[in-house]
Structure 1
Amino acid sequence: MPEPIYPTSDLRIRLEVLDRLRHAPGLDASDISVTSDHGEVRLSGVVWSEADCRQAQEVAAAVLGVKRVRNGLLVQAKSGSVGTGLLAP
């Protein structure tokens, strides 16, 4: 991804990542937190599947100004499904 002419502020990056996560098709981002420091985005919180975990990372990485994504999301099976508990991504 090309670097922007002017650096994108961390606040703008954080808000853009949150907005894109909120509007990503099929992704429940209600339990995802986002921080940004010098273009390095950190995702934390809980998602419901490995696919959601990967999708959240891809969405964040596609935002202009993001240099790196640290994915700290935990995958938790929905209650009533087979296998419960938290798994590291």
Structure 2
Amino acid sequence: MSTTFVSFTLTATAREGGEERFRSDIWQVTSAPLGGATLTLAGAEGTTAVFNGVIPETRRTADAVTLVSFLEDHLATTKSIHLDLAVNIHRGR
């Protein structure tokens, strides 16, 4: 059985007080898969970064809210990174 992948765009914004760590956090996000997601930095300016990502399709990819919650929790618990995330899931591409 083959694995189906979901592509998405992720926007990460530094939380208040996290602006000085933001660049370091962004590089840590792209350094290894994040909860099964592979992220590629598409661009960054100021305290906002945009990534292109893919992740195996699971219940975590059912909708953008669920995926954001999963990724925020995973970043916080595995890397101690706290960012505000927004996701746009690309279906049917």
TM-score range (shorter-chain normalised) is 0.3 to 0.5
Provide TM-score, normalisation by structure 2.
0.42
TM-score under structure 1 length normalisation: 0.43
Larger RCO, structure (CA 8 Å, separation 6 or more): 2
Higher strand share: 2
